[in-house]
Amino acid sequence: MKYVQCGFDCLDFNVLKRNLVHLPNFMKIWKESSRGAMFSRDKVTGISWSSIHTGMHWQKHGISDMWGRKGMHDAGRDGPQDVKLPPSLDFESCEKPYSWDYMNKAGYTTGVFNMPVTYPPKSVSGWMVSGFPCPSNKDITFPASLQKYIRKDYAPDWVNTVCEPKDVDPCKWVDRTPEVKTFLSQVADMEATRMDVLEELLTNEPVDMLYFQSSIVDRMIHTHGINDNTDLPVYAICDKILEDLLELTKPERLRIVSDHGGIGRLHNHNATWLMWGKNINPGYLLPLNEYRANEVDVVPTDLYWMDIPPPAPNEFDGKVVYDCFVRKKHDDDKKIEDQLRALGYID
């Protein structure tokens, strides 16, 4: 597969690094990746994933609610509270192009699987299976004919197993959480079912690129917290998901990304950025300074990775993180080279 994005909601770069010796599939990617703690500006699922996939902050894409619910805003947001957000758009009313739209325009087919704030599903060149929050009793696929692959025991999210996300206050599902051992068993079974559905989709509906997401780390932080007793068990389930994805897709390019980090019961800014595969500069570490990568840098960097020109000047709030790559000639370099050749300085 040309490109795979493996998203893990709340996967904290520092927690991942601390447990790496116990996570063989992450370790394999880690050694050959460009990586670092990506700065998550807003630290909220709906806002941050929308920023990751548009290359724009909420002021441009318009999704300002933690769950991307139209007309809501700022619910549960633990970013700067002096910034009052306007009523949110939802996925249906957001008119900005997403990463997969740019890839489709360049001629690639895409599978979008379980990405947050993608309900109801939109038309893509390929297919889409909506992610959280979406109802358990509605069709969640584009095209609609692919609903046949969604098994009766398939849950879009663990929250769907205890309540209907669209109908319940975002925090009330926390009160319905079983003890840790049962919770881990439930999410492991849920993700195993998800991977079975994904395998059937990829077998029967192959695509050039895949966007995948799992929310289980975020569900742990909001139920039992991320601590010395819970971090490794839930990160180990993520490691198994990564193993299955690598086997299913055999990607040329792999991006592992999260919308924010989290320790204890709180989100933080330390999201995960790992890039592995073709043209990647192995071992490069993102700087922790004013040039630190953040969520709006994902789309422009990935388009550059795929040799797809940016759509227009100032289209994105983000930048290309060039240092993640083995040196490629930039447009300015090529212009200078052409000028030198015209003057006879080089052949």
Long-range contacts of 96-101 (CB under 8 A, 24+ apart): 96/54, 96/56, 96/60, 96/61, 96/62, 97/54, 97/311, 98/53, 98/54, 99/5, 99/52, 99/53, 99/54, 99/55, 99/211, 99/298, 99/299, 99/302, 100/53, 100/124, 100/126, 100/209, 100/211
112 vs 7: CA distance, rounded Å: 11
pTM: 0.91
Q: What is the pLDDT of residue 254?
A: 98
Can you give the pLDDT at residue 330?
Answer: 57
d(CA 114, CA 5): 12
> What's the pLDDT score for residue 86?
85
pLDDT score at 164: 67
User: How far are the Cα atoms of 4, 39, 122, 241, 314 from residue 296, in angstroms, in the given order?
Assistant: 18, 10, 22, 25, 12
> Chain centroid to CA 204: how far?
24
* Segments of the chain with pLDDT less than 50: 75-81
Superfamily of domain 3-342: Alkaline Phosphatase, subunit A (3.40.720.10)
